[in-house]
Amino acid sequence: MKLRETAVKVLDILTKEYPEAPVTLDFKNPLELLIATILAAQCTDERVNRVTPDLFRKYRTAADYARADPKKFEEEIRPTGFFRNKAKNIIGCCRKIDSQFNGRVPQTLEELTSLPGVGRKTANILLGNAFGRQAIAVDTHVKRVTHRLGWAKSEDPDKIEFELMEVMPPEGWTPACRQLVFHGRKICMAKNPQCPVCPVSKFCPKIGISS
Which residue among the candidates 139, 191, 202, 206 is catalytic per the annotation?
Answer: 139
Contact indicator for 125, 157 with CB cutoff of 8 Å? no
Contact indicator for 151, 8 with CB cutoff of 8 Å? no
pLDDT in tens, 53-69: 999 999 999 999 999 99
Q: What is the rounded average pLDDT of the residues 193-211?
A: 80
Three-state DSSP class for 8?
helix
Shortest CA distance to 22 belongs to which of 200, 175, 196?
A: 175
> Quick one: pLDDT at residue 210?
39
Contact indicator for 39, 78 with CB cutoff of 8 Å? no
Shortest CA distance to 210 belongs to which of 183, 186, 192?
A: 192
Q: Does the pLDDT at position 16 exceed 60?
A: yes
Q: Place 207 in a pLDDT band, splitting at 50, 70 and 90.
A: low
pTM over 0.85: yes
| Cα 167 from Cα 209, distance rounded (Å) | 22
User: Is residue 206 annotated as a catalytic residue, yes or no?
Assistant: no
Contact indicator for 7, 151 with CB cutoff of 8 Å? yes
Q: Does the pLDDT at position 140 exceed 50?
A: yes
Q: What is the rounded average pLDDT of the residues 25-47?
A: 97
| Cα 32 from Cα 210, distance rounded (Å) | 35
How crowded is residue 143: how many other Cβ atoms within 10 Å of its Cβ?
21
Helices marked H in the chain: 3-17, 30-39, 45-58, 62-66, 70-77, 83-100, 109-112, 120-129, 140-149, 157-165, 173-186
Question: What is Dmax (Cα atoms) for the chain?
Answer: 57
Q: What is the rounded average pLDDT of the residues 1-17?
A: 93
Which residue among the candidates 121, 153, 159, 206 is catalytic per the annotation?
Answer: 121
User: Is residue 159 annotated as a catalytic residue, yes or no?
Assistant: no
Q: What is the rounded average pLDDT of the residues 23-45?
A: 97
Contact indicator for 49, 37 with CB cutoff of 8 Å? no
Q: 192: alpha, beta or left, given left = phi > 0 and alpha = psi -120 to 50? A: left
Residue type, 90: I
Domains and CATH numbers, the chain: 3-22+136-203 (1.10.1670.10), 30-129 (1.10.340.30)
